[in-house]
Amino acid sequence: MRAPQEHVIHKAAWFYHIQGMRQEDIAEALGLSRATVINYLKRARDIGAVTIRVPAGLFRDDVLARRLEDGLGLKMVWVVPDGSDGPEVNFSQAAGMVLLDLVQPDSLMGLAWGETVFAMVDALPMTEVPGLSIVQMCGNLGTSFQYRPDYCTLEMARRLWAFGENLYAPLVLSSEELATAIRQEDTVRHQLERLRDCDLALFSVGSCGPESHVVKSGAVSPEELLLLMSRGAVAQVNARMIGADGAEIDCSYNRRLVAMELDDFRRIEKRLCLVSARDKVPALKAAIAGGHVSHLVVTTSVAADLGRDLMDPDQAS
């Protein structure tokens, strides 16, 4: 896997040499100055990224990443080798590199929860990001799992020498009326409103099945999950159940949540999603369809599964 900055260099070269974009348009698309784009294009030539004879392996993954960006409408994709086609790279460490490249000083990061997110947090080196605050994007769970929302938030804050802000409410309430009342409490309401100021959100998608985190953590019973699936639920984004089209399911479970609204979530400029397991591909497709993902870190196998949908029938066969 290339270093995060090399991905940006490669993407600038892709825009310029493959898509024929002007340097000014590339600068706007990548949030860079025109001078930086010119420098990146020169560096792309220096490292051989735009020669006819290209390096094998990692460059092939870069091309797949660019195709996923173009085909799925994503701003940036990183493909982490998982050993299925060459040497394996530690996914959590690679995802941490990407995060550190995206996060900015004096910014606000929203953080979800789950094993994939916590594994990345646990792999982060101690790195100071001045003025960074990290906000929990959903309520908490009454379990001892390390990957529960409050622990993920505080551990991330510790690793980045940042200020951690927990959301002091349960994730799922027993009734819609109680959930509404909790969300309207001044402390909780202000915390949910503060999430709208996030510059970056870090999350993974949850799948729907007996091994889903929402079941293992007790947020949803197996019987309730089956009912939600019968109503079209295929995935969770920040604990909210969504259908295959990415739209939030109209159900009591979603109305009983204390969590960031998905409309607010989609307004965050950088929404970094981490997916390492192939069994989460259907859930990831739903999240992408709903516009919940802008930046994506996946393994080679997951990227290949996503890429098959972008092939024409002749290529797929």
Q: What is the pLDDT of residue 310?
A: 78
How many CB atoms neighbour CB 73 within 10 A? Answer: 12
Rg over alpha carbons for the chain, rounded to the nearest Å, is: 20
Residues 166 and 138 sit within 8 Å (Cβ to Cβ):
no
Give the tokens for residue 151: 């622990």
Half-sphere exposure of 159 (CA within 13 A, CB side): 18
Domains and CATH numbers, the chain: 1-55 (1.10.10.60), 63-316 (3.40.50.1360)
Please answer whether residues 62 and 54 qualify as being in contact, where contact means their C-beta atoms are separated by less than 8 angstroms: no
For residue 61, which of 93, 86, 41, 91 has the smallest C-alpha distance? 86
Q: What letter would DSSP give residue 125?
A: -
Number of Cβ within 10 Å of residue 32's Cβ equals: 17
Dihedral (C-alpha) 96, 97, 99, 105: value to the nearest 10 degrees? 120
From first to last of its 317 residues, the chain has per-residue pLDDT tens of 555 667 788 778 777 766 667 788 888 888 888 888 888 887 776 665 544 333 334 334 678 888 899 999 999 999 988 887 767 888 998 899 889 889 999 999 999 988 899 999 998 888 889 999 999 999 998 766 777 889 999 999 999 999 999 998 999 999 999 999 999 999 999 999 999 999 999 999 998 877 777 787 777 888 898 999 999 999 999 999 999 999 999 999 999 999 999 999 999 999 999 999 999 999 999 999 999 999 999 999 999 999 988 765 454 44
Query: Given strand 235-237, what is the order of strands in its sheet?
Result: 205-207, 235-237, 240-242
Residue 105 three-state SS: coil
Residue 214, burial from CB neighbour count under 10 angstroms (0-12, 13-18, 19+): buried
* pLDDT at site 136: 97
Question: Would you mind telling me the total number of residues written for the chain in this entry?
Answer: 317
259, β-bridge pairs: 138
Q: Residue 304 corresponds to which tokens in the numbers above?
A: 């290949």
Helix crossing, 23-30 with 4-13: angle to 10°? 150
Per-residue pLDDT at 183: 96
Q: What's the CA gap between 39 and 244, in Å, rounded?
A: 41
Rounded distance between C-alpha atoms, residue 94 and residue 298, angstroms:
10
CA distance 167 to 138: 7
**Pairing status of strand 108-111 against strand 200-203:** parallel
* 105 within 8 A of 99, measured Cβ to Cβ: no
Residue 231 has, within 13 A of its CA and on its CB side, a CA count of: 16
